[in-house]
Amino acid sequence: MKTVGGNGSVSDLPHVVIIGAGFAGLAAAQELGNTAVRVTVIDRNNYHLFVPLLYQVATAALSPADVAEPIRHVLGRYPNIGVVLGEVSSVDTQAREVSLASGETLHYDRLVVATGSTSSYFGHDEWRSVAPACKSIEEARLIRSRILSAFEEAERDGASDREALMTFVIVGGGPTGVEMAGSVAELARHALTADFRHIRPETARIILVEGGPRLLTAFPDSLADYAAKALERLGVQIMTNAPVERITEDGLTAGGRFIPARTVLWGAGVAPTGAAKLLGVPPGPGGRVAVCADLSVEGLDHVYAMGDVAACLGEDGRPLPGLAQVAQQQGRFLGKGLRRAIIKGEPLSAFHFYNRGNAAIIGRHHAIFDFGRYRMKGYPAWMLWAIVHVVLLVNTAQRVRVSLQWLWRYLTYRRGARIITTPVPPRGR
């Protein structure tokens, strides 16, 4: 309907279809904005989710809208980009067609798959309902409701199960588990202290369970040690060498020990979404889609994969980690590359990841940053973490909102979003 330039309809231009509006997909689309290329971005949600801050929604510090930005709003300024809200049901790489669950079919000239990752329970899908992960807004809201409801139940006169209600177990010693444990600890130790009469939230047990010998294996020893000490100072109990054997509504068994706990949160594993199957290619390392150095999918023409779903080998010959910065750099690289390839006929070059530093935040004044050569911890790392995350948010309004809420929380120790709005399913009693 709307035209670019005025010389022809957008629908005559070469068509790039991008599946997924995460960090990778959105960056690629933006690079293709206002060019002589027609772009369609497909996502099952109408928003781009800033996953690195989602744990703050789960722990009542931020609201969903603070970390979710409507895709149409981000891309609305580019008349050559359309957005489709829908679920991809199949891809025909011969006919170059993407079919949606709603029945629509889109023809593409180039297809970019950036469908990300999902939480993985290592074959124990029965744990999913008792130990929710934090990968979507709905899950974050559910976790928030579960944590707050546990305190409410414990507050009841004559609550029989007070110890288990006031025990919070977080599974997984990676950045996700560490950040979640720190944030739950701060919620209990600071934000809720004045709220109850029969319980003292600051006495809640927060336990971080890790199957391997230490936390944060992606970080150097010195930083991981620092993080562990900072967590312990916050009152988080750390159990290493404790692989999870069983999770029920009554608690968790790990390393042969049963911990009575009514709230178990999962931060242990992620798996790529099923894009290899969708594309009809054999799964690559870790189930991800194997891609060449230029991010084209091995064995397919004009199909590309990037972000968490793609196994792109780094300089050390191992697949790059599933990080926002990897996805964003790949998106920019591929967006620029496709622009040149389609408009000027230039071949794609090889992607090189530039490590901007790997970070984890433990809590107030405590974070770690690993830049490879340099390392940073404590207050400066915490400041840098906050600045980087605010800058990375999609728009100015979110930056202002999140900064203000952080400032307010920093000054008062309070959390504004302590509302229970997702009904917590009865836990069998």
Residues in contact with a copy of itself by the rule CB under 8 A? 1-2, 45-47, 63-66, 68, 70, 72-73, 76-77, 79, 82-85, 102, 104, 137-138, 141, 148-149, 152, 155-158, 192, 194-198, 397-398, 400-401, 404-405, 408, 412, 414, 416-421
Query: How far apart (Å, rounded) are the C-alpha atoms in residues 182 and 189?
Result: 10
Question: In a 3-state reduction of DSSP, which class is residue 219?
Answer: coil
Among residues 34 and 102, whose Cβ is nearest to a copy of itself? 102
Query: How far apart (Å, rounded) are the C-alpha atoms in residues 162 and 178?
Result: 25
Catalytic residue ranges: 179
Instruction: Give, for 83, the enclosing helix (H) or strand (E).
Output: strand 81-85
Among residues 77 and 246, whose Cβ is nearest to a copy of itself? 77
Could you say which DSSP state residue 143 is in?
H
Among residues 74 and 206, whose Cβ is nearest to a copy of itself? 74
Shortest spacing between CB 30 and a copy of itself, in angstroms: 15
Shortest spacing between CB 34 and a copy of itself, in angstroms: 14
Shortest spacing between CB 399 and a copy of itself, in angstroms: 11
The amino acid at residue 285 is P
**166 backbone dihedrals φ, ψ, rounded to 5°:** -100, 20
Among residues 12 and 245, whose Cβ is nearest to a copy of itself? 12
Where do the H-state alpha helices sit in 206-365?
221-233, 275-279, 324-344
User: What are the strands, taking DSSP E only, across 278-418?
Assistant: 289-290, 303-305, 310-311, 358-363, 366-370, 375-377
Shortest spacing between CB 393 and a copy of itself, in angstroms: 12
The 10 Å Cβ neighbour count of residue 127 is: 21
**Angstrom distances, CA of residue 152 to CA of 148, 149, 166, 268, 402:** 6, 5, 10, 27, 27
Among residues 1 and 315, whose Cβ is nearest to a copy of itself? 1
Shortest spacing between CB 374 and a copy of itself, in angstroms: 36
Among residues 75 and 236, whose Cβ is nearest to a copy of itself? 75
Q: Are 138 and 418 in contact (CB under 8 A)?
A: no
**110 backbone dihedrals φ, ψ, rounded to 5°:** -135, 140
Q: 317 — alpha (psi -120 to 50), left (phi > 0) or beta?
A: left
Query: How far apart (Å, rounded) are the C-alpha atoms in residues 317 and 27?
Result: 25
Shortest spacing between CB 422 and a copy of itself, in angstroms: 9
Tokens at 127, concatenated? 């744990």
